[in-house]
Each structure stands twice: as structure tokens, then as C-alpha cells.
Amino acid sequence: MNSNNGEHALVIGASSGIAQAVIKQFLTHSSVSKVDAVSRRCISHTFGEKVAYHDIDSSHESQIKAFIAARKAEGITYRYIVCTIGFLHNQELGIKPEKRLEDIQAEAMQQYFAINTIIPTLWLKNLPAVVARNSPTTMAFFSARVGSISDNRLGGWYGYRASKTALNMVIKNAAIEYARRHKQVTLMAYHPGTVDTGLSKPFQANVPQQKLFTPAFTAQCLVQQLETAQAEYSPYYVDWDAQNIPW
């Protein structure tokens, strides 16, 4: 790695509850010397000198490029990269998962794809510059089980499902190209389960208590999988319990 001994981690969308739990989990590992936390909103928690905070609006690729260029100039490459960015509902904008075809709105669909698909794609496009040539890197992008085409038996949630399915295809595509250029990179589409955060709050009523996870629990599950993932099996589409999800 670079001049600071140890491995580096990058957390994108670092203001979310899950992302902050992921940062805490990384900090428990003696091998991780530095965590770069990227967010467009102020991060409320202060983790100490091992975490560097970066205010970046990922909807603007120029800001992603500038961040990547700065890290490359510092000689940084990342061992772990986690992107937790995702969008399900917004009361102010009147956007919520559709129950039927008549609920579909073009503006809502655009928002789902802009956040759930396009932003992660822009990061995947630019990350090769901070990936080591001769050591492993594992990247996890938060997907969802409802993005599975073959596992869809309930219907509904058109925008969210479709944008996560599109993200899964981007990850599959990128894994092929990364394998040609960076053979030790592993890509992962990760389903964290239903986590007790603002994103899932309106949809928790029918979730069994034992299936409503804390951010700390899903972060621990994720980091364990990041450590054991192998490039030869990339890309993964897995849930919090390390069970494969059908594409």
C-alpha cells in the first residue's frame, strides 16, 4: 500500500447508519490503518484520526474524479471499498415504492436510477485508478434481494427493483472488465437484510423481530465476507448470511 503502513478502506455514502457501522467495524481491524469516509452530508459521528472525511456529491462525476485523483497522487490504493448509497422513498418528494402499474411516475423512476444505479456506476468507472495491481481489493455495493429477477414472486416496487437489477448487471459487467485489468479485484452485490434505519422504517411492520437487524450486525456480516471473498468467484450476489442470491 502507500506510505502509511497497513490497509486502506473507502466507505461511500458514509453518513448513513449502516455506513457508520461499517466504519466502526473497519476500525476494529488492526490491518486497516486508514478509512476514507465519503459523503455529501455532514457525518455526525467522529471516529478519530484513522478516519478522513470528504464532502463529495457523488451525483457529480467531476467530484468523484477529483477525489480519486487526489488519492492516486498520495499513492493510496484500497483493500476494501464499500458503497452504501441507496434510495427507497422520500416523503418530501412524494416518492414511495409502487404497489401497481398505475403508481409509476417518470420522475420517481429517474430518481431511483440516478441514485441506485448511476452513482455506483460512476464510482466503478473511476475506482481502477486506486486499485493495486498485485494485491487484492474487494468492493461491495449495496444491492437488494428484490433486485433478483428470478426471485421476484411478489411484483411491485417497480423503480426500486429495476434500479437494483440494473446495478446488479453493472456489477456483473464490471467484474468481467476488472478481471481483465485487475485480476485480484472482487466485486460484490450485497443485500444487508432489513436493517433498522430510516430507509426501511416505513416497511418494518411485517418484519419478524429476529429479521430486523441492527446496523452493527449487518456491518459485521459484511466485513467478514469482504475478508473471505475471492476474486476467482467474482462477482458475488449475496445476503447478510453469505447465502447466494439468484441473479
In CATH terms, the fold of domain 7-239 is Rossmann fold (3.40.50)
Q: Give me the pLDDT at residue 47, please.
A: 83
Confidence band for 91, pLDDT divided at 50, 70 and 90? confident
Specify the pLDDT at position 158. 98
Residue 138, pLDDT > 80, answer yes
Mean pLDDT, to the nearest integer, of 55-76? 97
Q: Is the pLDDT of residue 242 over 90?
A: yes
First to last CA, the chain: 34
* Residue 226 contacts residue 140 (beta carbons within 8 Å): yes
Closest to 191 measured CA to CA, from 231, 243, 120, 149: 243
Task: Write the pLDDT tens digit of every residue in 160-183.
Answer: 999 999 999 999 999 999 999 999
For residue 136, cis peptide bond before it (omega within 30 degrees of 0) = no
Which residues, including other chains, have CB under 8 Å from residue 225's CB and lie 6 or more apart? 140, 188, 190, 236, 238, 242
Domain ranges of the chain: 7-239
Q: Are strands 137-142 and 32-39 parallel, antiparallel or unpaired?
A: unpaired
Q: Does the pLDDT value for residue 1 go beyond 50?
A: no
Query: At 46, which amino acid appears?
Result: T
**Is the pLDDT reported for residue 36 higher than 80?**
yes
Mind listing the pLDDT tens digit for each residue in 196-217?
Answer: 655 545 554 555 555 667 889 9
